[in-house]
Structure 1
Amino acid sequence: MHREEFLAQLSSAGYDEVVTVTRDPDRALALHTHPFEARALILSGEVTIRIGDDAHTYRAGDIFHLAAHTEHSETYGPEGVSYLVGRR
C-alpha cells in the first residue's frame, strides 16, 4: 500500500493522530501496552510483534493493527524499522 492511500484510510477511520516512528537496528521493546489503538504502515525495515505465543514479522508495505491495551513486545530487524502510525 502507498503512503497517501494509507493516510486517506486513517483519516476516514477516525485516526486523528498520525506520526512516523523510527527504531534502531537489532533492538527490542519488552512486553508493554499502549493506551491507544494503533494502525501502522511499514515504510522500511522490519518489526516482529509478539502477542502471547503468536509472533508476526511485518516488512515494507505491510500493515499491522493493535487494539488499545494489547500486551505485546517488539523486535526490530537488522535495518531497524520506520513506520507511519495512526493512533486513536
Structure 2
Amino acid sequence: MALPSFDEFRRDALARGFDEVLERRWAPGTVLETHSHPFDADALVVEGEMWLDGRHLTPGGTFQLARGTPHAERYGPAGATYWVARRN
C-alpha cells in the first residue's frame, strides 16, 4: 500500500474539518507516560514504529484519539514519524 504524500494527507484532513496538520518526529526510545491532549487527533505513521497503549503501529498504521482521551506512547529503537491532523 502506497502512503499518501504529506500534501495529500493535509488536504484530506482539512476537507474533513481538521484545522491543523503537523509532522511529528520522535527520538529513538522516547516514552510518554499517560497523558491527554486538548484536541482530536487523526494520525498516520510514516516512518519507524510506536506503541500507543500497547498497540503496535508501523508505517501505514493509523490512530485516532478524541480530545481528553488518556493514553501512553512509546517509540521504537529508530524513533518514529507520523503526520497528525488536529481539531482544536
Amino acid at match of 2:45: I
**What TM-score do you get using the length of structure 1 for normalisation?**
0.87
Q: CA RMSD in A?
A: 1.2
Q: CA deviation at 1:43?
A: 1.3
Aligned equivalents of 1:16 and 1:7: distance in 2?
10
1:2 correspondence with 2:22 = no
Amino acid at match of 1:16: D
Aligned to 1:70: 69
Q: Mind listing any 5+ residue stretches in structure 1 that lack a counterpart?
A: none
Q: Supply the distance in 2 between the matched residues of 1:80 and 1:44 (Cα, whole angstroms).
A: 8
Is structure 2 residue 36 aligned with structure 1 residue 36?
Answer: no
Is residue 22–residue 83 contact of structure 1 (8 Å, CA) maintained in 2? yes
Aligned length: 84
Q: 1:15 aligns to what?
A: 18
Moved over 3 A (4+): none
Instruction: List alignment gaps of at least 5 residues for structure 2.
Output: none
Q: 1:73 and 1:56 mapped to 2: Cα distance? A: 10
1:12-58 residue CA offsets vs partner (Å, 9 max, x unmatched): 211110111111111200010000000111110011001xxxx2111
| Distance in 2 of aligned mates of 1:77 and 1:46 | 5
What TM-score results when the alignment is normalised by the length of structure 2? 0.87
**Aligned 8 A contact 1:2 1:61 in 2:** no
- Paired letter, 1:69: G
- CA displacement at 1:5 relative to structure 2: 3.8
